[in-house]
Structure 1
Amino acid sequence: MGGWDAYNVTEDADLGFRLARFGYRSTTFASTTFEEAPARFGGWLRQRSRWMKGWMQTWSVHMRRPRQLWKDAGAKGFLTLNAIIGGNVLTALTFPILMIDMALRSLEGAGGGFAAGAVTPLHLTTIAAGFVSTIVVGLMGLARRGQLRQGWILALTPIYWACLSIAAWRALYQLLSEPYRWEKTEHGLSPQIRSAATSQGTASHHMAARRRQRYR
Structure 2
Amino acid sequence: MGGWDAYNVTEDADLGFRLARFGYRSTTFVSTTFEEAPARFGGWLRQRSRWMKGWMQTWSVHMRRPWRLWSDAGAKGFFTLNAVVGGNVLTALCFPILAVDIAVGLLARSGGATEGLAASPITPLHLTTIVAGFVSTIVVGLMGLARRGQLRQGWILALTPVYWACLSIAAWRALYQLLNEPYRWEKTEHGLSPQIRSNATAQTPTIRAMATQRRRRYR
Aligned to 1:120: 123
Q: Distance in 2 between matches of 1:197 and 1:116?
A: 57
Q: Contact conserved, 2:10 with 2:51, CA < 8 A, in 1?
A: yes
Q: Contact conserved, 1:102 with 1:116, CA < 8 A, in 2?
A: no
Q: Contact conserved, 2:19 with 2:25, CA < 8 A, in 1?
A: yes
Q: Contact conserved, 2:105 with 2:117, CA < 8 A, in 1?
A: no
| 1:2 shift after superposition | 1.6
1:186 equivalent to 2:183? Answer: no
For normalisation by structure 1, the TM-score amounts to: 0.91
* Equivalent residue for 2:163, pick from 157, 160, 164: 160
Aligned to 1:175: 178
Q: Which runs of 5+ in 1 are unaligned?
A: 206-216
| 1:116 shift after superposition | 3.2
Q: State how many pairs are aligned.
A: 205
Aligned to 1:139: 142
| 1:201 shift after superposition | 4.8
1:29 equivalent to 2:29? Answer: yes
Q: 1:20 to 1:145 in 2, by over 3 A?
A: same
Q: Which runs of 5+ in 2 are unaligned?
A: 209-219
Q: Distance in 2 between matches of 1:204 and 1:170?
A: 38
SS of residue paired to 1:189 = coil
Superposition CA RMSD, Å = 1.5
Runs of 4+ in structure 1 off by over 6 angstroms are 202-205
Q: Over residues 178-199 of structure 1, what are the superposed CA-to-partner deviations in whole Å (9 max), with x where a residue is unaligned? A: 0000000010001211221233
Q: Distance in 2 between matches of 1:44 and 1:156?
A: 16
Q: 1:64 to 1:203 in 2, by over 3 A?
A: closer
Q: Over residues 147-175 of structure 1, what are the superposed CA-to-partner deviations in whole Å (9 max), with x where a residue is unaligned? A: 10110000000000000000000000000
What pairs up with 1:10-25 in 2 under 5 angstroms? Answer: 10-25=10-25
Q: Distance in 1 between matches of 2:82 and 2:118?
A: 24
1:44 equivalent to 2:47? Answer: no
For normalisation by structure 2, the TM-score amounts to: 0.90
